[in-house]
Amino acid sequence: MAPAVMTVSQTQCIVCSGSRRSTFARAVLTPLPFSGKAATLGKRSVMGVALSAGTLALVPNATFASETFEPRMTLFSDRKNLFRLEYPADWEYVNKAGATLLLRDPTEKYAHIGVTMSPVKISSLAEFGTVHDIGVKLVKAEAAKESTVPGGVTLVSEGERNGLTSNITFYDYEYCLLTTHGNKRVFNSVAVHDNVLYIMNAQVRQKGENSEPDVVAALLRGVVATFDVGPAAT
């Protein structure tokens, strides 16, 4: 069997530690081709509210290569809040209350990636339910929003994975959301570590009710796979 062809690309790394942020560059080998804590929340209030509160993205050495689209990625590592992710290098930071991290595509205001953190009583996702149990609650919570069109939530996929370096369990969801403000493709990834619920939420505007996701949606799908939390991830 012929050896895998490797390409070397460079990503910018941003590391946060308390109030300090440092930036450096690193090389990434990419195989080609390949297509303050508030009141503690209880189990039932965690996923139905926090998951769908949805203003909110992910982890290590992932780059996304194709014949026509190969963005430069930046590694974000937060040593204080214990999570990391990679995101498109040209996306910008946005300050927003309640979001630990929020990034936005400067060319498309409806495309963003974010991370929120909430204290919880549970110590693992399994204590709350299976990936399907939580997916059902997520769909119901989104459907109950005033801005959601009746019958406007379609779950595209749900899955369970382990963090690439932490081995912590993550539940990942992708769904279409039809709202009075426009149609969206939404990606959620959730995990629990040390009684903290981490939620990554990424969204992009979808052109029509039945349209296929564009290249940004494909990128966000890849970003989800890089989300990781815990000391081992940072």
pLDDT digits (tens, 9 = 90+) for 133-156: 999 999 999 999 999 999 999 999
- Higher-confidence residue of 82 and 222: namely 82
Provide the H-helix boundaries in the chain.
43-45, 52-53, 131-143, 215-224
Residue 180 domain-assigned (yes or no): yes
Say if residue 47's pLDDT is above 80: no
Dist CA 108 CA 183 (whole Å): 14
Mean pLDDT, range 105-114, rounded to an integer: 91
Residue 30 lies in a domain: yes
What is the reported pLDDT for 13? Answer: 56
Determine contact, residues 21/14, Cβ cutoff 8 Å: yes
Instruction: Look at residue 234 and tell me if it is in a domain.
Output: no
Using pLDDT thresholds of 50, 70 and 90, give the confidence band for residue 63: very low
- pLDDT over threshold 50, residue 14: yes
Report how far apart, in Å, the C-alpha atoms of 198 and of each of 1, 17, 31, 98, 117 are: 41, 18, 30, 12, 5
Whether 166 maps to a domain, the answer reads yes
pLDDT beyond 80 at 184: yes
Instruction: Count up the domains in the chain and report the number.
Output: 1
Domain that holds residue 178: 5-35+37-229
Q: Is it the case that residue 225 has pLDDT exceeding 90? A: yes
Task: Flag whether pLDDT at 25 surpasses 60.
Answer: no
CATH number of 64's domain: 3.40.1000.10
| Distance between CA atoms of residues 216 and 169, nearest Å | 26
Task: Please state, rounded to an integer, the average pLDDT across all residues of the chain.
Answer: 78
**Average pLDDT estimate for 85-113:** 92
126 belongs to a structural domain:
yes
Asked, as a colleague might, if the bond just before 33 is cis with ω within 30 of 0, I would say yes
pLDDT, residue 45, reads 45
Q: How many residues are present in the chain? A: 234
- Please tell me the predicted confidence (pLDDT) of residue 215: 82
For residue 137, tell me if it sits in a domain.
Answer: yes
User: What DSSP letter does each residue of 24-72 carry, written as one string?
Assistant: EEEEEEEEE------SPB-HHHIIIIIIHH------TT-----SS----
Angle, CA of 29, 189 and 226, to the nearest 5°: 5
Average pLDDT over residues 170-178: 96
* Residues whose CB falls within 8 Å of the CB of residue 229, separated by 6 or more in sequence, listed in order: 82, 83, 84, 163, 166, 168, 191, 193, 198
Residue 220 lies in a domain: yes
At residue 218, the pLDDT reads: 86
For the question of whether the overall pTM of this predicted structure is more than 0.75, the answer is no
Q: What is the pLDDT of residue 75?
A: 94
